């Protein structure tokens, strides 16, 4: 237990370390918070806690992203307020109608969370609806309640406008150059560390290099994805960034993770074979800074047959990166680097009809309904935070649910009980000016923003801010009662119990099961693309469908990696076996991404139309599509599938063809690699 506790403490400490862009982002949140607070106090706007929390929800990928997310948040807020008023007026504020409306709205929000690319807005809609409908449980006059609903819109508008103003004033100016710099920093750190291993350097030289890689690994992929989203949203020139930048970010983040794990467990090197492998990896990392391509088979020659070590995982991830296509014929299609946001569909293809989406929405709705009934049955309005907790903490897997609920509880204790009640008891009685309040809120928002900028425990930071604001802002005067903090904590605990029962006992979906489903969805998307390439003759139409599939594949592989980080929260199962499965699923997804991009990059160009019409390539794509569907079913059901050998996939004349040979060989190699990974995965939990 002591070792486990020490490990968690070390992970927490690493998560709080400075990472690129973290201080800048935190200070922008603090500035927006201070500006919004001053305006709310001067204008005497109620519900300041809600408005200040929305500052944390506004996207900061770019000024235009902030504007768009802020605008859509306000639209969702106005729509939600109108929905509440319509339900109340049409049903004459009938209690049963309010209950049914909560069930329906949370169900629809759950559906939208998993089937669209506007997850935050769907969650916000459910969150605000549950907040506003609770007003009508009181016996206050209707006019007063309508005015309170309008006040919420005004308060949130002030917070959103302050966030947008700060982002437009202080946001990043050259995201493409910044992203390339972030890639360079990581590859240079990897090259430095593996070079030291190759040289047999002493421990005192290796340790600082390992620490540098570990800190970059802790930063994860979010910071780089924010820069990428800025390029996408503003349609900027991607500069020297390589093809498929989005998925490369996930691959690089995974490479940092496995390299940091290798370095942490190997602080010295005296094995000549290991030194040779490290020297080769260091050379590849230095080459990848400039996107110089080595053949993936170079790594296979370095790796001992049948081994499965951390260094082998480094090799596997590098292999996936090297399998990605480079520039074609010396030309770079900028849309292959970064897909403009205008070409990303709102609805994820096929997600709305998936039974997993409906099941998740039903579970979320059931939890919210149970909490709502309990709150009304015991006549304890103070614990209505339970319904809100269900919407905010709701995710699709048991591991992620437990993680969110634990983090929400920790955040509520720190933000609500310790900081909120501590300020109520020891600070607010002695504060009589707005200056002292601004200093206190600035300090709390800085703590929460810095915490929220981490990779593993960021959700705790959001909940610290939310819980503190709920306790500290009851009105325009300092709070003088401790009961609100107690009631809100009890509401959170109620939601914890209900969601744990529904999601983990009544209707569980293990994280690894969800990861298998996501991998299978990627395979089916790849199969759909292969068939489209054979059936769609209009290249513009093919591009449109292919871009939607590309976006889905890129986001799904990122989600698989994120889900893999929550597997350790799966209590009551064989966690080690699940962790092994999650690693293999992630490896399979990276292999699949390399396969998809090798197809996508070549067939995306007008001058490659011959690749669409060549009979042998058409037959190859049909065979691979059927194989993808078989592997998808085997991945979900853990059953055997008919493997396709190289000779059956493609005949020798095609593989040696002067024009089509290299493309066909790459496709066959990636497909066979995926078959091997799925075969191993079938035997695991």
Question: Is residue 147 located within the same domain as residue 79?
Answer: yes
Helix, strand, or coil (residue 116): strand
Selection from 289-303, 314-328, 338-352 with the highest mean pLDDT: 314-328
Lowest mean pLDDT among 116-120, 409-413, 503-507: 116-120
| Tens digit of each residue's pLDDT (9 = 90 or more) over 40-57 | 988 888 888 888 988 887
Q: Does one domain contain both 425 and 495?
A: yes
- Domain count of the fold of the chain: 3
**Residues 449 and 514 both lie in one domain:** no
Residue 409, in any domain of the structure = yes
> Residue 647 has what pLDDT?
85
62 and 98 in a single domain? The answer is yes
| Mean pLDDT over the full length of the chain | 83
For residue 348, being part of any structural domain is answered with no
What is the pLDDT, as a whole number, of residue 195? 93
Closest by Cα among 559, 568, 257, 558 to 406: 568
Residue 2 pLDDT class (50, 70, 90 cuts): very low
Last residue of a domain, one of 301, 316, 340: 340
User: Are 179 and 68 contained in the same domain?
Assistant: no
For residue 679, the model assigns a pLDDT of 87
Angstrom distance (rounded) from CA 641 to CA 272: 41
In a domain, 38, yes or no: yes
Selection from 48-62, 229-243, 438-452, 498-512 with the highest mean pLDDT? 438-452
Tell me which of 228 and 432 has the higher pLDDT: 228
**Domain finish residue from 340, 365, 388:** 340
* Digit-coded pLDDT (tens) for 516-574: 989 999 999 999 989 988 887 777 777 788 888 888 888 888 889 888 888 888 776 67
More confident residue, 487 or 574: 487
pLDDT tops 60 at residue 236: yes
**Interatomic CA distance for residues 318 and 294, integer angstroms:** 10
- Indicate if 535 and 673 belong to the same structural domain: yes
Residues 266-282, mean pLDDT to the nearest whole number? 86
Model pLDDT, residue 329: 41
In this prediction, residue 447 carries a pLDDT of 95
Residue 8 lies in a domain: no
Secondary element (H or E) of residue 66: helix 63-90
Whether residues 497 and 453 share a domain: the answer is: yes
* 328 pLDDT tier (thresholds 50, 70, 90): very low
Q: Is the pLDDT of residue 3 over 50?
A: no
Q: Is residue 2 part of a domain?
A: no
Find the CATH number of the domain harbouring 324.
Answer: 1.20.58
Distance from C-alpha of 467 to C-alpha of 489, rounded to nearest angstrom: 9
Using the predicted structure, report yes or no on whether residue 660 has a pLDDT greater than 90: no
Residue-wise pLDDT for 93-121, tens only, equals 898 999 999 999 999 988 888 887 777 67
Q: What is the pTM of this model?
A: 0.79
pLDDT score at 441: 92
The answer as to whether 320 is a domain residue is yes
Structure tokens at 399: 């591991």
Q: Examine the domain organization and report whether 217 and 192 are in the same domain.
A: yes
Q: What is the pLDDT of residue 330?
A: 43
Cα end-to-end span (Å), the chain: 26
335, part of any domain: yes
The number of CA neighbours under 13 Å toward the Cβ of 176 is: 15
Q: What is the pLDDT of residue 572?
A: 64
Whole-number Å distance between alpha carbons of 518 and 304:
31
- The pLDDT value given to residue 48: 87
Task: Report DSSP state, residue 568.
Answer: G
Do 264 and 240 sit in the same domain of this protein?
A: yes
- Of 297-306, 374-383, 431-440, 570-579, the range with the lowest mean pLDDT is 297-306
Same-domain pairing of 378 and 425: yes
Q: Which of 305, 340, 375 is the last residue of a domain?
A: 340
Averaged over 228-257, what is the pLDDT? 85
Domain hosting residue 545, numbered range:
510-685
Residue 513 scores a pLDDT above 90 = no
Residue 3 lies in a domain: no
Read off the pLDDT band of 64 (50, 70, 90). low
């Amino acid at each position: 237990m002591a070792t486990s506790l020490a490990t968690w403490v070390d992970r927490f400490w690493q998560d709080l370390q400075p990472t690129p862009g973290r201080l800048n982002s935190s200070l922008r949140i603090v500035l927006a918070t201070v500006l919004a607070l001053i305006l709310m106090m001067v204008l005497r706007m109620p519900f300041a806690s809600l408005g200040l929390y929305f500052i944390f929800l506004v996207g900061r990928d770019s000024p235009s992203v902030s504007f768009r997310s802020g605008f859509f948040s306000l639209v969702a807020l106005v729509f939600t307020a109108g929905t509440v008023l319509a339900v109340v007026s049409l049903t004459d504020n009938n209690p049963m109608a309010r209950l049914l409306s909560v069930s329906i709205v949370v169900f629809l929000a759950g559906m939208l969370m998993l089937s669209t690319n506007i997850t935050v807005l769907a969650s916000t809609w459910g969150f605000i609806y549950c907040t506003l409908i609770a007003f009508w449980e009181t016996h206050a006059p209707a006019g007063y309640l309508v005015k309170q609903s309008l006040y919420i819109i005004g308060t949130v508008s002030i917070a959103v406008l302050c966030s947008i103003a700060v982002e437009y004033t202080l946001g990043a100016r050259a995201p493409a150059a910044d992203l390339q710099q972030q890639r360079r920093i990581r590859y240079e750190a990897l090259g430095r560390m593996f070079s030291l291993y190759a040289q047999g350097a002493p421990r005192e030289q290796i340790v600082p290099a390992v620490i540098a890689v570990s800190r970059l690994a802790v930063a994860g992929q979010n910071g780089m994805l924010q820069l990428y989203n800025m390029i996408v949203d503003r349609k900027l020139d991607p500069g020297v960034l390589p093809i498929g930048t989005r998925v490369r970010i996930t691959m690089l983040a995974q490479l940092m993770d496995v390299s940091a794990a290798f370095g942490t467990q190997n602080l010295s090197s005296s094995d000549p074979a290991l030194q040779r492998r490290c020297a080769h990896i260091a050379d590849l990392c230095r080459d990848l800074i400039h996107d110089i391509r080595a053949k993936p088979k170079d790594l296979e020659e370095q790796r001992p047959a049948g081994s499965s070590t951390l260094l082998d995982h480094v090799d596997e991830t590098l292999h996936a990166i090297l399998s990605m296509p480079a520039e074609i014929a010396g030309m770079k299609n900028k849309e292959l680097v970064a897909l403009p946001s205008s070409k990303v569909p709102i609805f994820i293809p096929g997600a709305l009809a998936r039974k997993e989406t409906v099941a998740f929405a039903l579970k979320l709705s059931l939890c919210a309904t149970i909490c709502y009934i309990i709150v009304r049955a015991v006549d304890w309005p103070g614990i209505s935070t339970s319904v809100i907790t269900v919407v905010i903490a709701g995710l699709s897997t048991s591991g992620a649910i437990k993680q969110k609920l634990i983090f929400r509880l920790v955040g509520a204790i720190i933000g609500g009980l310790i900081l909120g009640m501590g300020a109520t008891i020891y600070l607010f009685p002695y504060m009589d000016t707005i200056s002292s309040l601004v200093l206190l809120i600035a300090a709390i928002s800085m703590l929460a923003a810095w915490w929220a900028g981490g990779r593993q425990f960021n959700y705790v930071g959001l909940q610290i801010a939310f819980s503190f604001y709920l306790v500290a802002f009851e009105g325009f005067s300092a709070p003088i009662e401790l009961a609100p903090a107690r009631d809100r904590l009890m509401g959170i605990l109620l939601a914890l119990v209900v969601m744990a029962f529904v999601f983990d006992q009544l209707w569980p979906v293990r994280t690894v099961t969800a990861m298998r489903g996501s991998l299978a969805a990627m395979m089916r998307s790849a199969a759909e693309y292969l068939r489209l390439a054979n059936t769609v003759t209009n290249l513009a139409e093919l591009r449109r469908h292919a871009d939607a599939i590309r976006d889905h594949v890129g986001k799904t592989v990122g989600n698989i990696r994120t889900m893999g980080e929550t597997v350790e929260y799966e209590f009551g199962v064989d966690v080690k076996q699940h962790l092994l499965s999650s690693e293999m699923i992630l490896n399979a997804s990276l292999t699949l991404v390399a396969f998809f991009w090798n197809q996508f990059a070549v067939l995306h160009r007008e001058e490659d139309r011959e690749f669409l019409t060549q009979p042998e390539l058409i037959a190859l794509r049909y065979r691979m599509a059927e194989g993808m569907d078989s592997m998808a079913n085997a991945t979900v059901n853990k059953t055997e599938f008919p493997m396709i050998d190289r000779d059956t996939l493609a005949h020798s004349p095609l593989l040696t063809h002067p024009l089509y040979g290299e493309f066909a060989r790459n496709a066959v190699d990636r497909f066979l690699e995926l078959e091997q990974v799925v075969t191993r995965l079938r035997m695991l939990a």
